[in-house]
């Protein structure tokens, strides 16, 4: 969803800042990133993937590394919001404007994401609802009495929360033309 959003905005040079390489969330998000690029006909470039630790410092370090290596990119998909905060910090430090020069998308919808500057576009993951659903299913499988079967709703699924960290006006696409 994150990579597709960036592709819809006209980005083709998209970086993925991964969390811990062995973590299932990192692996699934990397797979989604690769699938979105493939579906869009864009070759996967391993140099556009940097592993981190799901924290602000590793997001900052990843972007510094990319900039030092001269990797070209116009967008970043970070494995979580903390890494996205670090990425934005490093971009600002380098004089790169978010979102006008680089768009950034995080994952989790951390409580700070809406008030961070710029407010972070992110994927909201309803952790409480996922936990409730898992607990009810386990209890039911064990034959335990469950007063109410947990019902899913639209809010129980991962969804894109669009804020200010992505260039919604396709300025990146327009700049490439001119």
Predicted local distance difference test score (pLDDT) of residue 27: 94
Per-residue confidence of the chain (178 residues) as pLDDT tens digits?
999 999 999 999 999 999 999 999 999 999 999 999 999 999 999 999 999 999 999 999 999 999 999 999 999 999 999 999 999 999 999 999 999 999 999 999 999 999 999 999 999 976 555 566 666 667 677 777 666 655 554 455 788 999 999 987 544 444 443 3
Sign of CA dihedral 23, 26, 32, 35: negative
Q: Regarding beta strands 49-51 and 75-78, do their DSSP bridges make them parallel or antiparallel, or are they unpaired? A: unpaired
| pTM score of the predicted model | 0.81
Predicted local distance difference test score (pLDDT) of residue 174: 41
What's the 3-state SS for the chain?
CHHHHHHHCCCCCEEEEECCCCCHHHHHHHHHHHHHHHHCCCCCCHHHEEECCCCHHHHHHHHHHHHHCCCCCCEEEECCHHHHHHHHHHHHHCCCCCCCCCEEEEEECCCCCCCCCCCCEEEECCHHHHHHHHHHHHHHHCCCCCCCCCCCCHHHCCEEECCCCCCCCCHHHHHHHC
CATH numbers and ranges of domains, the chain: 2-125+156-177 (3.40.50.2300)
């Amino acid at each position: 969803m994150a990579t597709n959003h960036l592709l819809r905005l006209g980005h083709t040079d998209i970086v993925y800042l991964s969390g811990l390489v062995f973590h299932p969330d990192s692996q699934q998000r990397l797979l989604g990133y690769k699938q979105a690029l493939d579906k869009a006909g864009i070759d996967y470039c391993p140099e556009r993937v940097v592993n981190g630790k799901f924290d602000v410092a590793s997001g900052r370090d990843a972007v510094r590394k990319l900039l030092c290596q001269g990797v070209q990119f116009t967008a970043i998909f970070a494995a979580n919001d903390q890494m996205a905060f670090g990425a934005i910090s490093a971009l600002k430090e380098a004089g790169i404007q978010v979102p006008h020069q680089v768009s950034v998308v995080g994952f989790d919808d951390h409580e700070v994401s809406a008030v961070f500057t710029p407010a972070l576009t992110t994927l909201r993951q309803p952790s409480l609802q996922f936990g409730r659903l898992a607990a009810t299913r386990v209890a039911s499988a064990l034959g335990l009495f469950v007063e109410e079967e947990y019902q899913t709703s639209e809010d129980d699924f991962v969804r894109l929360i669009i804020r200010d960290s992505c260039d919604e006006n396709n300025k990146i696409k327009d700049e490439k033309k001119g």
